[in-house]
C-alpha cells in the first residue's frame, strides 16, 4: 500500500515538475563490491551514502546496488543505474574501473566517480584514500608489539593499492625493527570470512603473533581474539569483535567527500578531478589505540600526527626494493603516479609478488 | 608436531560445513530429488542460528534454530517440487536466491554484532592422548555431530530397510510405488533431512567457524558441497573424504603461501578444486560402480499412475 502511495506521489510530483515547478531532486547512486553488511569496506561506503542523505535531506535521493561482481555485470549494473535517472554514480571498487570508463562514455550527461582507480574522463572523476598512511603507523605498532617479530598478512588481490599497503606496513615496521618479517597469504577474494579465518589460523601456527588484513571481514580479528593474539581492524572499527586483540583499525570515512561532491552536483559546479586524500583530510582515520602500553600508543600518535602535518611521508626515498634496486631521491617522496602503479615489494618482504 | 596439529584442526573446521551439507544432499539425491538450493538453506541456517543465539544468549538454541530454518526452506522446496511438481532445477535455484535475499533482510540488524560461540566439549581423559586427543576429542558439538552423521547416514543408506526404501524410490519410483511405498512421503522426509543438514552447516559458520553474521557468509560453500556429492558418486563416506580433502588442500595452499616459497597463489587457490576432482574421479573410475550408484530417477518428478 505504501508503495502504491509513493508511486502515486511520484506521479503527482512528475506532473508538477513537468508543469514547470521548482528544481528536481538529484539522484545519487552507489555500487558496492560486497554486501553493505560486510562491516568492512562496502559498509563504510554505505555509511558515506547515509551521511549524504542526512546532510542534504530533501535535495537528494540515493540508491545503491550491493554485491556487484567485478566483470561484465559491473557494466550492466552501471548502465541500468544511468538509465534509471541517477545523476551521479559512485563506483566504489578498483575492479569497476573499465566498466565505469565505458559506461561514462555512453552517458555523457551522467556524472561518474570511481574509487581507487587511475582512469578518468570528462564526466568520470577519480577519488581515493591514502590508506597506506594508516598502514605505515600500523607497521610501527606491529613491530613494537610483536614478540616473535613476525606478522601475518592476509591479502586479497595483487593490485597496486594492496601492494602499496604491504610496503607501507613493512617500511613502518622496519623503522622499529629492521629484521621484522611478514608472512603473506593471498586468499584471492575480498570477502570470504571462512577463508580469511583459515588463513589467520595458518599464519598463527607458522609463528606470527600479529595479524594484518587487506580483506573485508572481521573473521581474522576474531581468530586473533580467540587465540590470544593481536591484530588490526580493516575499513571500520572492529573493536566489538576483538576487544582484547584490536590494536587499532584503519577506518575509511567517506562521508564528507560524498557530501561535498553530491552538493556540487546539486549546485551544478561538479567537475571531473582526481583526488587522493588521507589522514590530513580525515578520509583515513585511525581507531583509538587499544591493548598496547602507553609509550607505544604515544609513539603511534606522534607518527600519525607527523603524517597529518606532512612532515612524514611513508614513501620517502631512497627506498630499497626487494630486488636490491633503489628508487626515489633522498628526502623526497615518491610521486603519486609511482605509488598508484606500484608492482614491487620493498626489501625485507619474503614473498614473490603474484603477477 | 604442534604446527601439524594446528593445521589439522583448521582443516576440520574448514571441511565441516561442506561435509554436513554434502552428506545431507547425498540423502536427498539418493531419493531421486535434485535440490540445488543448498546455498540458500545454508545461509538461512547461518542467519537464523546467529539470530537465535544472539537473542537468547544460548548458542545451542542457535544450533536448533539453524536446523529448523534449513528445514523450513526445504519444506517450501518439497511443496513446490513434490506436491505441485515444479521443475526441481528451477525451484532449487530459486531457493538459493530466496535464501540469500531473505537472510540479508532478516540479518540486517545483526550485522556488526559479536556473536556467541558454540563451546568446545572436551572429553577429560581421551583429549589428553598425544596428538589425536585434541583433534578428535576436543571439538564442538557440531563437529561431533558431523562425525556421527557420516557414520549413521552411511549405515542407514546401505545396511537398513529404511535405506533400501530411499534408494528404491530414487532408482525407480514407479516400482517403489507399485510395491506400496509412499514415494512422495519418502522424498518429503529426505528433502527435510537435507534441509536440516544444510541449515546446520550454515549454523556452524555463524556459531563456530566465524561467530558473527555477515551477508553472504556462506560464500559459495553450498555449491561446493553440491559438486562433492556428484563427484563422490552419492556415497556419504566419500562425500566426507572429499570435504576433508578439499579442506586439507585449501589449508595446505595457505601454509605454502605463508612459508613464502613463491608458488603462485592463483594456482594454489585452484588446487583444492583440481585435486578433489581428480581424487574423486579416480576412486569412482569404475563405470559399473558409478552407474549403479547414480540414482536413476534423479531430478524427475513423480506422478503416480492411476
Q: Is residue A60 part of a domain?
A: yes
Residue A197 confidence (pLDDT) above 60: yes
Instruction: Please indicate, yes or no, whether residues A41 and A137 belong to a single structural domain of this protein.
Output: no
SS3 per residue for B27-81:
HHHHCCCCCCCHHHHHHHHHHHHHHHHHHHCCHHHHHHHHHHHHHHHHHHHHHHH
Determine the residue of chain B that is closest to A224 in CA distance: B210
Residue A202: which of B7, B212, B217 has the nearest Cβ? B7
For chain B positions 163-192, those within 8 Å of chain A (CB to CB) are none
Residue B214: which of A38, A186, A352 has the nearest Cβ? A38
Residues B95-138 pLDDT 10s: 999 999 999 899 988 887 888 888 888 888 888 888 888 888 88
Residue A39: which of B111, B262, B264 has the nearest Cβ? B111
Instruction: Please indicate, yes or no, whether residues A116 and A203 belong to a single structural domain of this protein.
Output: no
Q: What's residue A70's pLDDT?
A: 87
Residue A174 confidence (pLDDT) above 90: yes
Beta-carbon separation of A38 and B255 below 8 A: no
Instruction: Please indicate, yes or no, whether residues A207 and A293 belong to a single structural domain of this protein.
Output: yes
Instruction: Please indicate, yes or no, whether residues A264 and A191 belong to a single structural domain of this protein.
Output: no
Q: Is residue A347 part of a domain?
A: no
Residues A117-150 pLDDT 10s: 888 899 999 999 999 999 999 999 999 999 999 9
Q: What's residue B278's pLDDT?
A: 85
Categorize the per-residue pLDDT at A173 as very low, low, confident or very high, splitting at 50, 70 and 90: very high
Q: What is the CATH number of the domain that holds A208?
A: 3.40.50.2300
Three cell numbers at B98?
A: 530466496
Asked if residue A114 lies in contact with residue A100, where contact means CB atoms within 8 angstroms, the answer is yes
Residue A350: which of B210, B251, B260 has the nearest Cβ? B260
Within an 8 Å CB–CB cutoff, is residue A348 touching chain B? no
Beta-carbon separation of B215 and A183 below 8 A: no
Domains of chain B, earliest start first: 2-293 (1.10.3470)
Q: What's residue B306's pLDDT?
A: 57
Instruction: Please indicate, yes or no, whether residues A120 and A142 belong to a single structural domain of this protein.
Output: no
Asked if residue B207 lies in contact with residue B6, where contact means CB atoms within 8 angstroms, the answer is no
pTM reported for the whole predicted model: 0.84
Burial (Cβ within 10 Å: 0-12, 13-18, ≥19) of residue B57: exposed
Within an 8 Å CB–CB cutoff, is residue B210 touching chain A? yes
Instruction: Please indicate, yes or no, whether residues A31 and A45 belong to a single structural domain of this protein.
Output: yes
Beta-carbon separation of A206 and B255 below 8 A: yes
Within an 8 Å CB–CB cutoff, is residue A201 touching chain B? yes
A334: which residues sit within 8 A by CB, 6+ positions away?
A315, A316, A317, A319, A327, A328
What integer is the mean pLDDT of B17-41?
96
Within an 8 Å CB–CB cutoff, is residue A177 touching chain B? no
Q: Is residue A5 part of a domain?
A: no
Could you tell me what percent of chain B has a pLDDT over 90?
A: 63
Q: Is residue A92 part of a domain?
A: yes
Instruction: Please indicate, yes or no, whether residues A55 and A32 belong to a single structural domain of this protein.
Output: yes
CA A157 to CA A354: how far, in whole Å? Answer: 9
Domain that holds residue A87: 25-130+254-277
Residues A259-312 pLDDT 10s: 999 999 999 999 999 999 999 999 999 999 999 999 999 999 999 999 999 999
A220: which residues sit within 8 A by CB, 6+ positions away?
A154, A196, A197, A199, A200, A211, A213, A231
Q: Is the ipTM of this complex over 0.95?
A: no
A33: which residues sit within 8 A by CB, 6+ positions away?
A41, A42, A67, A68, A69, A70, A92, A93, A95, A96, A190, A191
Beta-carbon separation of B209 and A194 below 8 A: yes
Determine the residue of chain A that is closest to B112 in CA distance: A39
Beta-carbon separation of A192 and B219 below 8 A: yes
- Using alpha carbons, list the distances in angstroms from residue A316 to A304, A311, A341, B129: 15, 11, 16, 55
Instruction: Please indicate, yes or no, whether residues A214 and A166 belong to a single structural domain of this protein.
Output: yes
Residues B179-191 pLDDT 10s: 999 999 999 999 9
For B140, what's the count of Cα atoms within 13 Å in the CB-facing half-sphere?
17
Residue A9 confidence (pLDDT) above 70: no
Instruction: Please indicate, yes or no, whether residues A71 and A181 belong to a single structural domain of this protein.
Output: no
What integer is the mean pLDDT of A223-231?
94
Instruction: Please indicate, yes or no, whether residues A248 and A145 belong to a single structural domain of this protein.
Output: yes
Asked if residue A140 lies in contact with residue A303, where contact means CB atoms within 8 angstroms, the answer is yes
Q: What's residue A23's pLDDT?
A: 53
Determine the residue of chain A that is closest to B104 in CA distance: A37
Q: Is residue A17 part of a domain?
A: no
Determine the residue of chain A that is closest to B252 in CA distance: A202
Positive or negative: CA dihedral B96, B102, B105, B107: negative
Q: Is residue A103 part of a domain?
A: yes
Beta-carbon separation of B112 and A185 below 8 A: no
Q: Is residue A4 part of a domain?
A: no
A54: which residues sit within 8 A by CB, 6+ positions away?
none
Three cell numbers at B142?
A: 557440531
Q: Please report which residue ranges of A209-293 form alpha helices under DSSP H.
A: 219-227, 255-267
Q: What's residue A14's pLDDT?
A: 45
Asked if residue B53 lies in contact with residue B207, where contact means CB atoms within 8 angstroms, the answer is yes
Q: Is residue A3 part of a domain?
A: no
Residues of chain A with Cβ-Cβ distance to B9 below 8 Å are: 201
Instruction: Please indicate, yes or no, whether residues A117 and A138 belong to a single structural domain of this protein.
Output: no
Instruction: Please indicate, yes or no, whether residues A59 and A143 belong to a single structural domain of this protein.
Output: no
Instruction: Report the domain count for chain A.
Output: 2
Within an 8 Å CB–CB cutoff, is residue B10 touching chain A? yes
Beta-carbon separation of B258 and A38 below 8 A: no
Amino acid at each position: 500500500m505504501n508503495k502504491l502511495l509513493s508511486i502515486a506521489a511520484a506521479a503527482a510530483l512528475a506532473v508538477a515538475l513537468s508543469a514547470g515547478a521548482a528544481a528536481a531532486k538529484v539522484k545519487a547512486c552507489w555500487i558496492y563490491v560486497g554486501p553493505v553488511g560486510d562491516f568492512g569496506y562496502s559498509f563504510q561506503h554505505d555509511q558515506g551514502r547515509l551521511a549524504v542523505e542526512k546532510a542534504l535531506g530533501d535535495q537528494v535521493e540515493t540508491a545503491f546496488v550491493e554485491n556487484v561482481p567485478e566483470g561484465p555485470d559491473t557494466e550492466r549494473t552501471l548502465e541500468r543505474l544511468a538509465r534509471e535517472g541517477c545523476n551521479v554514480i559512485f563506483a566504489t571498487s578498483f575492479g569497476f574501473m573499465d566498466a565505469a570508463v565505458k559506461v561514462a562514455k555512453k552517458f555523457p550527461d551522467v556524472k561518474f566517480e570511481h574509487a581507487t582507480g587511475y582512469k578518468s574522463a570528462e564526466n568520470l572523476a577519480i577519488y581515493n584514500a591514502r590508506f597506506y598512511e594508516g598502514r605505515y603507523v600500523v607497521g610501527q605498532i606491529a613491530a613494537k608489539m610483536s614478540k616473535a617479530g613476525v606478522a601475518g598478512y592476509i591479502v586479497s588481490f595483487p593490485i597496486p593499492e594492496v601492494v602499496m599497503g604491504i610496503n607501507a606496513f613493512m617500511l613502518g615496521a622496519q623503522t622499529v625493527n629492521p629484521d621484522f618479517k611478514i608472512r603473506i597469504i593471498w586468499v584471492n577474494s575480498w570477502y570470504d570470512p571462512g577463508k580469511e579465518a583459515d588463513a589467520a589460523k595458518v599464519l598463527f601456527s607458522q609463528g606470527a603473533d600479529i595479524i594484518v588484513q587487506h580483506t573485508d571481514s572481521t573473521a581474522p580479528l576474531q581468530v586473533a581474539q580467540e587465540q590470544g593474539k593481536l591484530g588490526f581492524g580493516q575499513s571500520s572499527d572492529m573493536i566489538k569483535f576483538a576487544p582484547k586483540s584490536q590494536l587499532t583499525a584503519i577506518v575509511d570515512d567517506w562521508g564528507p567527500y560524498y557530501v561535498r561532491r553530491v552538493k556540487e552536483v546539486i549546485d551544478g559546479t561538479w567537475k571531473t578531478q582526481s583526488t587522493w586524500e588521507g589522514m590530513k583530510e580525515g578520509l583515513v582515520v585511525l581507531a583509538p589505540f587499544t591493548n598496547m602500553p602507553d609509550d607505544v600508543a604515544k609513539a603511534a600518535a606522534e607518527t600519525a600526527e607527523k603524517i597529518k602535518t606532512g612532515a612524514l611521508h611513508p614513501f620517502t626515498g631512497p627506498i630499497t626494493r626487494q630486488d636490491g634496486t633503489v628508487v626515489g631521491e633522498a628526502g623526497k617522496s615518491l610521486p603519486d603516479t609511482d605509488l598508484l602503479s606500484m608492482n614491487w615489494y620493498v626489501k625485507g618482504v619474503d614473498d614473490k609478488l603474484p603477477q | 608436531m604442534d604446527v601439524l596439529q594446528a593445521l589439522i584442526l583448521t582443516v576440520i573446521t574448514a571441511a565441516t560445513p561442506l561435509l554436513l551439507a554434502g552428506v545431507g544432499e547425498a540423502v536427498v539425491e539418493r531419493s531421486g530429488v535434485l535440490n540445488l538450493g543448498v546455498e540458500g538453506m545454508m545461509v538461512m541456517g547461518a542467519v537464523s542460528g546467529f539470530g537465535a543465539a544472539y537473542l537468547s544468549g544460548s548458542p545451542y538454541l542457535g544450533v536448533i534454530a539453524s536446523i529448523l530454518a534449513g528445514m523450513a526452506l526445504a519444506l517450501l522446496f518439497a511443496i513446490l517440487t513434490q506436491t505441485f511438481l515444479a521443475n526441481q532445477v528451477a525451484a532449487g535455484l530459486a531457493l538459493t536466491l530466496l535464501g540469500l535475499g531473505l537472510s540479508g533482510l532478516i540479518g540486517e540488524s545483526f550485522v556488526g554484532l559479536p556473536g556467541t560461540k558454540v563451546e568446545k566439549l572436551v572429553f577429560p581423559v581421551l583429549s589428553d592422548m598425544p596428538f589425536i586427543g585434541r583433534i578428535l576429542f576436543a571439538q564442538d558439538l557440531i563437529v561431533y555431530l558431523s562425525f556421527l552423521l557420516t557414520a549413521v547416514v552411511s549405515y542407514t543408506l546401505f545396511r537398513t530397510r529404511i535405506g533400501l526404501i530411499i534408494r528404491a524410490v530414487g532408482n525407480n519410483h514407479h516400482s517403489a510405488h507399485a510395491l506400496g511405498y509412499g514415494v512422495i512421503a519418502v522424498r518429503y522426509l529426505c528433502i527435510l533431512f537435507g534441509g536440516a543438514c544444510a541449515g546446520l552447516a550454515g549454523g556452524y559458520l555463524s556459531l563456530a567457524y566465524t561467530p558473527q553474521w555477515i551477508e553472504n557468509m556462506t560464500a559459495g560453500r553450498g555449491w561446493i558441497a553440491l559438486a562433492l556429492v556428484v563427484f563422490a558418486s552419492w556415497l556419504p563416506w566419500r562425500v566426507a573424504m572429499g570435504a576433508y580433502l578439499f579442506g586439507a588442500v585449501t589449508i595446505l595452499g595457505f601454509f605454502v603461501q605463508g612459508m613464502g616459497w613463491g608458488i603462485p597463489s592463483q594456482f594454489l587457490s585452484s588446487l583444492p578444486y583440481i585435486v578433489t576432482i581428480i581424487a574423486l574421479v579416480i576412486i569412482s573410475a569404475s563405470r559399473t560402480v558409478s552407474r549403479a550408484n547414480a540414482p536413476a530417477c534423479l531430478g524427475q518428478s513423480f506422478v503416480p499412475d492411476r
